Amino acid sequence: MIAAPASARPHTRGSLAAQLRQLGVRPGGVVLVHAAMRPLGFLCGGPEAVVLALRDVLGPDGTLVVPTHTPENSDPAGWSNPPVPEDWWPVIRAETPGFDPAVTPSRFMGVLAELVRTWPGARRSDHPQVSFAALGPAAERIVSDHSRVDMLGEGSPLARLYDLDADVLLLGVDHGSNTSLHLAEYRRPAPPRQRCGAAVLTGDGGREWVWWDDVRLDEEDFARLGTDLETTGAVRLGPVGDGTGRLMRQRAAVDFAVDWLARNRRTEES
């Protein structure tokens, strides 16, 4: 085992809860969390301590939400990190298991998101690429009826979070991981679009590959967008564990992003 640095200290469920309260997490509120554990330092109980601390602060009336995306369930023709040979594409489309919200693990979302997904009582949306899981009294309202088309737009959990005046909490990550900013992409005029595909379950217990048209998502400039958002004072920064927490009202972030994208990105018509 690698020894902890002399200046480090262990963080507990209680100490994390105190930091989250100080940051401004609202009792009874709804919070969408994006998290990386390593920057938070030594956690007594690991990601479980973070989930418990969040639930302690939110209380019984609060709802915790996480992204449980499955980006590998997508058209292999668009893969670049790494790409796969073209003669593999038909096999992948034919054999990838259909997305099952109860079974399919999330990918690249972090251990905290996976922990919430599997937590007793958690609910998960059924989108084959960009599902969300939620834990708390507003969970069903947030994750139900997740539209396959315009997957992070008005028929998505992101829009339900906007309706609920939810918060976004970034733990140990920056705005490059702020999925809510994608909702602003859908609220632009004439955003570029692309063909998407994924494997889904069928009503008879089988699976099939489906196609749909959707907005071409692009988070490459989200870190810069987030830096500009922070200059407005809309984001509260504070310590969580050894790392930095960023807390914001989702509505404020999305509304700012709509204007920012209008100034900084071109549309297909411009």
pLDDT tens for the 270 residues of the chain, in order? 444 554 478 999 999 999 999 999 999 999 999 999 999 999 999 999 999 999 999 999 999 999 999 999 999 999 988 999 999 999 999 999 999 999 999 999 999 999 999 999 999 999 999 999 999 999 999 999 999 999 999 999 999 999 999 999 999 999 999 999 999 999 999 899 999 999 999 988 899 999 999 999 999 999 999 999 999 999 999 999 999 999 999 999 999 999 999 999 875 444
Strands 30-35 and 235-240: unpaired
pLDDT given at position 267: 54
Strands in the chain per DSSP E: 30-35, 63-67, 123-124, 132-135, 167-171, 193-201, 207-215, 235-240, 243-249
Burial class (CB in 10 A: 0-12, 13-18, 19+), 72: middle
Burial class (CB in 10 A: 0-12, 13-18, 19+), 48: middle
Alpha carbons 269 and 77: distance in angstroms, whole number: 26
